[in-house]
Amino acid sequence: MSVRRGPSALLLAPAYDHGEYVSAESLGLRAVAAVLHQLGADVHVIDECPMPPPDAVRQFARDAVLVGVGVLFTRQTSDAIELVRWLRRDAPAAYYMIGGQGLQFLWEDVMRDCPELDSACMYEGDEVIAEVWSRLLSDRDDRGVKGLYVRDGAGVMSAGPRPPVARLDDLPFAYREPDAGAYRGGHATMSTSRGCAAHCTFCQSGNYANRYHELPRWRHRSARSVVDEIAYLHDVHGVDAVSIVDDDFLGGAGQGRDRAFEFADLLDRLPFRITYSIECRVDEIDEQILARLRSAGLRHLLIGIESATDPDIKLFGKRTTTAAVEDAIATLRRLNIDFSTGFIMFQPTSTLDGVAENLAFLARNRITNYRRLTNRLELYPGAPLLRFYERQGLALRADGYRVYYDFADDLVSHLYSGMRQVLAPYRQVETICESQRFEAARSHDEASDQRLALLRAYSDEISSSLVAAAVGGR
């Protein structure tokens, strides 16, 4: 007896640049997939689709009513367009839609450059895709759908943005395939909030979908909803480690403290134990709340430091100080919480003295790695810092929807190139060490804690060697 399925939808994302990003689930795609699944669609999600698309993906496209392509990083845009073009040639009958954070303010450009697209989704797609799906099944066109750019003769048009979802608890959990083998490593990612209350001038996340509506900039799911999804992931997929990938789990200025305490209490009532990681701001590193989260399974935390120089801290809108950062690092080490940091070593107007100050800070706090030492600022469409540099007369070049620049100081340019070359051999050993630290941090036993301490010592040795090599290269 055959299984009866509803009309199908294919949602896919281009493969990530693994030299820059760790691959992960496409939670934005899985959020809209959950909506379609709830509406009866037979959904297929491809997290990292290579080019050319595999035969199975091409068949999904031929059977699909709707093909959606998600763009998390701006640098994926060109690859996303190539996916659309390839699949449109092979499967012309479907409706082709593109969206995602990486397309911020590029919607019209992408629609213009890729006639194979039917529409581009602005901001959040949950309610947009539900309306588009309803129209496709009832043979109605897409004109007038708020939150969507569509074709208008030779041009494109939009009915304007759609307000984001106010109550995230009303949305279904992110779509997960019935095949539990997708999580045989026992690890999954989760989103528990949207938006960010911060004002970082360089960041796409903090400026994406946060400036056109009157809702709080940080919207969150309830602690009960989050723990219910964790229980589902554990019971159905065998997950025992969760990376919570919110831009800010604690919500800025402590808005999420009560939720965090409730979250920890609910985790303690589960009949099983999990470990998890979060992301938050430096000014939210509070010993009381983090000690409570640590006791409930918190093992890793990401904070964005970005710079140790006062001019760059101000330029990036970080609203913190180097002293506060060092206090936060000391607190995390005291609580035995493994952590990583975001850091921007180079920006267009960097100076040799500024780079030296950053190097000294990283060495003093033993948080150096190849990525932090060689990371240069990326300028995103829509980010305030891009407009600032434009006003300053910085020479900018656009190519493949990305913005490129040269350093104002030629000596900094030579230093940047030299450091990348000299430090490149450290990347492999770093990757191995960080992978082992991740595995050790997932466990609860004393032996794993001892192993993690040893791996941290190795990381410190690598960090010291990196700084010595970088200073020597300078």
Digit-coded pLDDT (tens) for 261-316: 999 999 999 999 999 999 999 999 999 999 999 999 999 999 999 999 999 999 99
In angstroms, rounded to a whole number, what is the distance separating the alpha carbons of residues 257 and 190? 19
Judged on CB neighbours under 10 Å (0-12, 13-18, 19+), 458 is middle
What's the confidence (pLDDT) of residue 39?
Answer: 96
- Reported as a single tens digit per residue, the pLDDT across 380-420 is 887 889 989 999 999 999 888 999 999 999 999 999 998 88
What's the confidence (pLDDT) of residue 2?
Answer: 34
Task: Give the chain's count of helices (H) and strands (E).
Answer: 16, 16
Confidence of residue 444 (pLDDT cuts 50, 70, 90): low
What's the confidence (pLDDT) of residue 73?
Answer: 87
Nearest to 82 by CA among 101, 119, 61, 110: 110
- Reported as a single tens digit per residue, the pLDDT across 170-198 is 999 999 988 756 787 899 999 999 988 88
What's the confidence (pLDDT) of residue 104?
Answer: 86
What's the confidence (pLDDT) of residue 239?
Answer: 94
In angstroms, rounded to a whole number, what is the distance separating the alpha carbons of residues 208 and 426? 34
- Reported as a single tens digit per residue, the pLDDT across 70-104 is 998 898 999 999 999 999 999 999 999 999 988 98
Kindly report the pTM of this predicted structure. Answer: 0.90
Sign (positive or negative) of CA dihedral 95, 100, 104, 109: negative
In angstroms, rounded to a whole number, what is the distance separating the alpha carbons of residues 23 and 8? 26
- Reported as a single tens digit per residue, the pLDDT across 305-347 is 999 999 999 999 999 999 999 999 999 999 999 899 999 999 9
E strands, 366-454, in order: 396-399, 402-405
What's the confidence (pLDDT) of residue 234?
Answer: 95
Alpha-carbon 232 to chain mean position: 23
Whether 108 shows a pLDDT value over 50: the answer reads: yes
Bridge-based pairing of strands 8-14 and 64-70 is: parallel
Nearest to 136 by CA among 87, 66, 67: 66
Judged on CB neighbours under 10 Å (0-12, 13-18, 19+), 424 is exposed
